[in-house]
Chains A and B, each alone.
Chain A
Amino acid sequence: MTTTAENPANAEDRRRRDRRPARPKKSDRAKAEARLGWMLAGPAFVVMLAVTAYPIAQAIFDSLFSYRLTAPDERSFIFLDNYLLLFTDGTFWRIFGVTLLITVITVAVELVLGFGLAIVMHKALKSLRGLLRTSILVPYGIITVVSAFAWYYMFHINSGFVNQWFSWVPGIDSDLDWFANFWTAITVIMASEIWKTTPFIALLLLAGLAQVPDELVEAARVDGATRWQQYSRVIIPNMKAAIMVALLFRALDAFRIFDNVFIMTGGDANTEVLALLAYRQSISRLEIGLGSAVSVVLFISVLLMVFVAIKLFKVDLASGTDASGGGKKKKATRKEGQS
């Protein structure tokens, strides 16, 4: 069969096959393919840029102004004064700290819980797997606001049953208003966040687990590994990539926490977080300048986290050779101490 009329699909494929032995002839085809490629990928690309790159540039620009929407005429360039205002304000640092606290604790708990869930699903029989997957997908799919309300009402001083059910726990009684003070409020906020997002981590880790060859685990068993050693020495080191991806994605997500706090406390009891601060400055108070500054700080924090993660990744990958010996010894001695 000769397809002289250019069939794009065929052309691409032929090109793919031809790619390795580079031939001078391909440049025309390559050009046509590049054009078609960009025609297909272009719209999505443009939309993505338009709804993120432009606004963030605008936000950076706005953050350099004293700009209040109620008084647009008084807009004036103040350079970094908005940032200065933030960084010299104790409240801002408290809010930053709360956000960080939520991020660290939720991600740590989710990682442990998620790993447990992943192991259960990995080991579960086929017949159970469907049921387990279905049930953990419910928290994943549910609207965060709904989850926030659900947890809010459970702990609510009037309509909640938690105070009654757990009244035997020291410190809990029917008069406890969880949302009136920081630690109790933040606990419920984090519980709701953890409940909703652990399934996602569990699924990512499950995929990671599935990629560790069974044979490797069997080899470790024959080599004399205890169950704990199978995980600590073979399985976890071999799913590091999956763990890091899950960790990074969740950390970035947790750092942007908004819905739960908005619904449960609205930032009261010192539970305000960065995203809520940005929202209140710009949307509620129409302080576009200051609000933009908070937005930019949030954005830069996220960028930093990604940067650090990638940096860590690289360090990890490069130093894998020498790190494995040293790290191992440390772990071994620690475990000896335990047993």
Chain B
Amino acid sequence: MASITLKNIVKKYGDGYPAVNDVSIDIDDGEFVILVGPSGCGKSTLLRMIVGLEDITDGELLIGGERVNEKAPRDRNLAMVFQNYALYPHLTVFENIAFPMRLAKGQFSEDEVKEKVNQAAKLLELTEHLERKPGNLSGGQRQRVAMGRAIVRDANAFLFDEPLSNLDAKLRGQMRAEISRLQRSLNTTSVYVTHDQTEAMTLGDRVAVLKKGVLQQIASPRELYEQPANLFVAGFIGAPSMNFLPGTVETNSAGNPCLSTPLGEIELPEHLAAAGKDKEIVLAGIRPEFFEEASQVEERRRGHGSVISAELSHVEWLGNEQYGYIGYENDPRVVETLQRLAEDMDSDDLRTQLVVALDAMSRVRGGDTIDLWVETRRIHLFDPATGENLTRDAEAGAELTRLAAEDRKRDRERQASRD
């Protein structure tokens, strides 16, 4: 096991376009780091550079403190789980798992191989399938064989390249839990590439968000969610995505600072207003769950928010939750920014509607006009020109990530005492 350090890593292909540009990440020993971003953001390239399947154009890669830029994959002692599992179809499950040990000829006796494979198989509940060929296994079983091959290695780190993308939704949830459990119990440094932000949020100790080869932010899932560094991270993390409502910081008739938006005035806490008041226009990042039906809000919380009135165009009732949609006229000054953001995020819809999370019990229908309370203290203001988060509280964010690290340490200790 080892730490992995990426120092100003750059990858350029023939056309000179940097697929990965100046990425620096410190991955602690035993840490589970997720690389996430839309397709083409360079996350897979980065992973393949770590494992040695792609050359590093510039920068330095250290594993366990040792520079490995020039080392062949086989000399880096890393284990990788591929997107399509990459099981050897001509070998049985047993031989697939044993493969890395068979390659390291002379290092493992036949008994050792057997013991290790059987141990891994037991851990992965593959014992009864050991003599089968991969072609006869289900998707989930194949996935587990691929992990088995990684486990028996005593590798310095596990690398996962979108390992769950070929599974159906139900199985994906199950395997997600399994990977998480395994990683915690083996405590092996892991780097995991995905475009699925649910995987990123649930698995990662820390999540690195990439866009077009550039690292946007690396932090614990909670910090990413609560204190995103910029418009892209804010939009990419969270489902449904954060709403970006254009507005200008003004003073309302009551003399309080407020944001004037196409949906009316939203009163702002002082510190937010201060951050946004110099800008001609800002984008207010409001997550759907920041909204609540005004009539439902408890009295003691009411003061932390502001109320707007709007007509719902339609609602979606999903059983455990309900989303309302509100159309509005977008400000031409931010259309371009939002369009670019949509492209960056790999989604083609230019959103000119607000999504609000409503109580599943609510009987509101499309066409109803309702009063919505919005929790203004959690709003972030973004500069449409640069995408920068004007109201990010770095300290609060760091605190969230520190807490996450503590949680992980506690997990590990608990695991150690159990073993």
Direct contact of A and B (CB under 8 A): yes
A223 CB within 8 Å of chain B: yes
Once A219-B80, A324-B91 are accepted as A-B contacts, the answer to whether A226 and B53 lie under 8 Å apart by CB is no
Once A215-B83, A328-B102 are accepted as A-B contacts, the answer to whether A221 and B90 lie under 8 Å apart by CB is no
A325 CB within 8 Å of chain B: yes
B149 CB within 8 Å of chain A: yes
Asked whether A222 lies within 8 Å of B103 as measured between CB atoms, the reply is no
A300 CB within 8 Å of chain B: no
CB contacts (< 8 Å) of B100 on chain A: these are 223-224
* A31, chain B: closest CB distance, angstroms: 37
Complex Cα spacing A8 to B62, Å: 66
Asked whether B92 lies within 8 Å of A237 as measured between CB atoms, the reply is no
Asked whether B82 lies within 8 Å of A219 as measured between CB atoms, the reply is yes
Once A215-B82, A223-B149, A225-B103 are accepted as A-B contacts, the answer to whether A324 and B74 lie under 8 Å apart by CB is no
Complex Cα spacing A321 to B135, Å: 13
Asked whether B102 lies within 8 Å of A237 as measured between CB atoms, the reply is no
* B54, chain A: closest CB distance, angstroms: 10
CB contacts (< 8 Å) of A215 on chain B: these are 82-84, 86
Complex Cα spacing A158 to B95, Å: 60
Complex Cα spacing A237 to B368, Å: 66
* B270, chain A: closest CB distance, angstroms: 54
Asked whether A321 lies within 8 Å of B53 as measured between CB atoms, the reply is no
* B373, chain A: closest CB distance, angstroms: 51
Of residues B72, B80, B89, B103, which shows the largest number of chain A Cβ atoms within 10 Å of its Cβ? B103
CB contacts (< 8 Å) of A240 on chain B: these are 90
**Which of these, A213, A225, A328, A335, contacts B84 with CB under 8 Å?**
A213
CB contacts (< 8 Å) of A162 on chain B: these are none
Q: From A335, which residue of chain B is reached at the shortest CB distance? A: B105
**Which of these, A225, A226, A324, contacts B95 with CB under 8 Å?**
A324
B104 CB within 8 Å of chain A: yes
CB contacts (< 8 Å) of B84 on chain A: these are 213, 215
B73 CB within 8 Å of chain A: yes
Complex Cα spacing A216 to B79, Å: 14
Complex Cα spacing A225 to B149, Å: 14
Once A222-B73, A224-B103 are accepted as A-B contacts, the answer to whether A238 and B90 lie under 8 Å apart by CB is yes
CB contacts (< 8 Å) of A321 on chain B: these are 92, 131, 133
Asked whether B78 lies within 8 Å of A234 as measured between CB atoms, the reply is no
A112 CB within 8 Å of chain B: no
B229 CB within 8 Å of chain A: no
Asked whether B103 lies within 8 Å of A320 as measured between CB atoms, the reply is no
Once A320-B90, A321-B131, A325-B95 are accepted as A-B contacts, the answer to whether A221 and B72 lie under 8 Å apart by CB is yes
B99 CB within 8 Å of chain A: yes
Could you say which interface size class chain B belongs to?
Answer: 20 to 34
Q: From A229, which residue of chain B is reached at the shortest CB distance? A: B103
CB contacts (< 8 Å) of A218 on chain B: these are 53, 73, 80, 82, 86
**Which of these, B53, B79, B102, contacts A332 with CB under 8 Å?**
B102
Interface string of A214-258 (1 = CB under 8 A from B): 011011111111100100011001101000000000000000000
The residues in A between 307 and 339 inclusive whose CB is less than 8 angstroms from any CB of B are 320-321, 324-325, 328, 332, 335-336
Complex Cα spacing A220 to B95, Å: 13
Asked whether B79 lies within 8 Å of A238 as measured between CB atoms, the reply is no
B255 CB within 8 Å of chain A: no
Q: From B161, which residue of chain A is reached at the shortest CB distance? A: A215
Q: From A234, which residue of chain B is reached at the shortest CB distance? A: B88
Once A215-B83, A218-B86, A336-B106 are accepted as A-B contacts, the answer to whether A223 and B92 lie under 8 Å apart by CB is no
Asked whether B90 lies within 8 Å of A224 as measured between CB atoms, the reply is no
Q: How many residues of A contact B (CB 8 A)?
A: 26
Q: From B51, which residue of chain A is reached at the shortest CB distance? A: A222
Asked whether A222 lies within 8 Å of B90 as measured between CB atoms, the reply is no
Complex Cα spacing A221 to B86, Å: 12
**Which of these, A213, A224, A325, A332, contacts B74 with CB under 8 Å?**
A224
Once A234-B88, A238-B88 are accepted as A-B contacts, the answer to whether A223 and B95 lie under 8 Å apart by CB is no
The residues in B between 73 and 128 inclusive whose CB is less than 8 angstroms from any CB of A are 73-74, 77-80, 82-84, 86, 88-92, 95, 99-100, 102-106
Interface string of B159-177 (1 = CB under 8 A from A): 1000000000000000000
CB contacts (< 8 Å) of B106 on chain A: these are 336
Complex Cα spacing A224 to B80, Å: 11
Once A215-B82, A218-B86, A240-B90 are accepted as A-B contacts, the answer to whether A224 and B105 lie under 8 Å apart by CB is no
CB contacts (< 8 Å) of A237 on chain B: these are 88, 90-91
CB contacts (< 8 Å) of A222 on chain B: these are 51-53, 73-74, 78-80, 159
Asked whether A219 lies within 8 Å of B86 as measured between CB atoms, the reply is yes
Complex Cα spacing A224 to B100, Å: 6
Complex Cα spacing A213 to B88, Å: 10
CB contacts (< 8 Å) of B102 on chain A: these are 233, 328, 332
* B114, chain A: closest CB distance, angstroms: 11
CB contacts (< 8 Å) of A233 on chain B: these are 88, 99, 102-103
CB contacts (< 8 Å) of A223 on chain B: these are 74, 79, 99-100, 103, 149, 153
Complex Cα spacing A223 to B148, Å: 12
Complex Cα spacing A7 to B12, Å: 55
Complex Cα spacing A209 to B204, Å: 38
* B44, chain A: closest CB distance, angstroms: 12
Complex Cα spacing A207 to B131, Å: 30
CB contacts (< 8 Å) of B133 on chain A: these are 320-321
Complex Cα spacing A219 to B86, Å: 6
Complex Cα spacing A259 to B138, Å: 53
Q: List 6 A-B contacts (CB under 8 A).
A: A221-B53, A222-B52, A222-B80, A223-B153, A233-B88, A321-B92
The 7 lowest CB-CB distance pairs between A and B, nearest first, are: A219-B86, A223-B100, A224-B74, A237-B90, A215-B86, A221-B73, A222-B80
Q: A215-B86, A233-B88, A233-B102 are in contact. List 16 more A-B contacts (CB 8 A).
A: A215-B82, A219-B86, A220-B88, A220-B103, A223-B149, A223-B153, A224-B73, A224-B77, A224-B103, A225-B74, A225-B103, A226-B74, A234-B88, A237-B91, A240-B90, A325-B92
